[in-house]
Structure 1
Amino acid sequence: MSDSIRLSIKSMYTNLSEKEKKIADFILENPVVVGSNSINDLSETLEIAPSTIFQFTRKIGYQGFKDFKLALLTQGRSETEITIHENIYDSDSLLTKAQKVFDTNISTLLDTRKFLDQVALEQALEYLKDAEAVYFFGVGGSEIVATDAYHKFLRAPLRVHHSTDYHIQLMEASLMKPSDCAILISHTGRSHETIEIAKAAREAGAKLIVLTSSSQSPLALLGDAVFVSIAEETEFRSEALSSRIAQLSILDSLYVILMFERKKASKESMAKVRKRIAKLKAT
């Protein structure tokens, strides 16, 4: 597996059972110990059945514990060792606290970049190019990301739509056509409202592009093209805060790729917007 074990576990973490999360946490915090012990040793330490540990390694993409341990040892300590990037202390200066927040965001972007997939990018580009209309959906904090994307894609040669109200989003999704494309954003991929919107868009025959931090979430499983954002949770920040940075960057990437693909029409569209906006600027 080309991606680090840490990132693979992170992308599936929210869908793990409590016992599986206990196994995952121990692996992330003690990779060297896990790499030098047997499955029975790990079972005794965690007080979890060997069969559960074996199934966990299968769930994250390995043939079994031996295959997983070999990958763990091959990757080496530098890749598998968990890093708490923010790790802010009361004694830190204001500048240090701010710098550690930046470090966390930078780490989130680097981790998410490793999960970018060529096939998903190609699929998303085709859906956007062929779309009669593109709709941006998200609730709560994800709605802010959807609004930012809508504001950005207004400059593209596309018909784009976005509402901040959930009920209107649901109505829009139900009225979509097979020629339309929906971009759905949810950190957990388990937001009931966003899943309902996705189901409505799916029933209408539209293509679904999904941005989430959980590759096996219910929302991700509904998507035609899925992008995974990776984020670390810290004491005063939920994962959703860091994942927002990653999701904005994924959407930036899709926007730039589309604009390059339809360069002539994009230039014309941007020129119209800039000409109109320029009239509002102070002289």
Structure 2
Amino acid sequence: MSLDGLDLRAIGPRIRMRLPELTPLELRVVETVFGLRQFSEKTALSQIASDAGVSEALVVKIAKKLGFSGFRDFRSAVAEYIRSPTAEMHEELSVDDSSEAILHKVFRTSIQALEETLAIIDIAAFDRAADIIKTARNRDFYGVGGSAQIARDVSHKFLRIGVRSTVQDDAHMMLMSASLLGPEDVAVGFSHSGRTTAVIDAVQLARRNGARTIVLTNYNSSPLAELADIVLCSTAQGSPLMGENAAARIAQLNILDALFVAVAQRDYSAAETNLQRTMAAVTTKRKERS
């Protein structure tokens, strides 16, 4: 990974996206690096190896596994990232935090997730996703738990502009729906971890039937991402109290809001007409002002 032309906000996310590929011992080394308060370009390889309780050779191996040319490249990138304003936003939540501190930390964590997701988003993939969703005959959205709620949110937005989709959150319904898709259709899988088996199975079946596949995930090397024609990645730094999902959800919703606008833009006249019609249809369900 070269720093030349690389947005500094993208360094942390690109490392985090590769963490699932590491063994527990390798993961401990990365946690040791990011846990050092005075980490800089002068931090010695021997210090990291000693603090993590591993060999220097293993530290170098991990740096290469994370996409860097070697330890020095890894050290420079991490040092630059740690000094960046975006990285400084992250503060760990504590059970002793006041309500004011909780609000401050949660908001800053979400802002960091938005800033870093924007830094890593693949614009070409985003444009292809908008084209496919706009022209598809059928649009199947698959997700379970919190990811299903995200799928429902964007499905609701698309319906407002006349772009119909179906959301499936049951493993059997996903497979039944995927079995009926073909080359003119698209299956969109939603999974923060990229390891939700129900979503993986459905996307895999849709792909076998010739449907195009898009996934929204936090890890671009996950099993789900490997099945996709297009991967849209969010990123969020974990927290013992919040986990990753909370902040990642904010980033994913923003990706999908942008995707909604991009799809609408491809036939703005039709989108505007359909938006007026769907808004008019629900006006009677709103209480008039007194």
Partners of 1:254 and 1:225 lie apart in 2 by 13
Which 5+ residue runs of structure 2 have no aligned equivalent?
Answer: none
Asked whether the equivalents of residues 30 and 81 of structure 1 are also in contact (C-alpha less than 8 Å), the reply is no
SS in 2 for 1:35: coil
Partners of 1:118 and 1:264 lie apart in 2 by 24
Which of 29, 33, 44 pairs up with 2:50? 44
Partners of 1:280 and 1:72 lie apart in 2 by 53
The answer as to 2:236 corresponding to 1:231 is yes
Which of 206, 209, 225 pairs up with 1:204? 209
Partners of 1:196 and 1:263 lie apart in 2 by 35
The code of the aligned residue for 1:174 comes to S
The code of the aligned residue for 2:24 comes to E
Superposition pairs for residues 158-237 of structure 1, below 5 Å?
A: 158-237=163-242
Once superposed, what is the RMSD of the aligned Cα atoms? 2.2
Deviation for aligned residue 1:22: 1.0
Distance 1:82 1:191, change over 3 A: farther
The answer as to 2:258 corresponding to 1:253 is yes
Deviation for aligned residue 1:143: 0.9
Deviation for aligned residue 1:15: 3.0
Distance 1:105 1:86, change over 3 A: farther
Partners of 2:51 and 2:177 lie apart in 1 by 52
Deviation readout 1:42-80 (Å, 9 max, x if unpaired): 32332223333222212222122233234345x265129
Superposition pairs for residues 15-164 of structure 1, below 5 Å?
A: 15-30=21-36, 32-33=38-39, 35-73=41-79, 75=80, 77-79=82-84, 84-90=90-96, 92=98, 94-164=99-169
Distance 1:61 1:82, change over 3 A: farther
Asked whether the equivalents of residues 219 and 225 of structure 2 are also in contact (C-alpha less than 8 Å), the reply is yes
What is aligned with 2:18?
A: 12
SS in 2 for 1:182: strand
Which 5+ residue runs of structure 1 have no aligned equivalent?
Answer: none
Partners of 2:82 and 2:103 lie apart in 1 by 28
Question: Runs of 4+ in structure 1 displaced over 4 angstroms?
Answer: 80-83
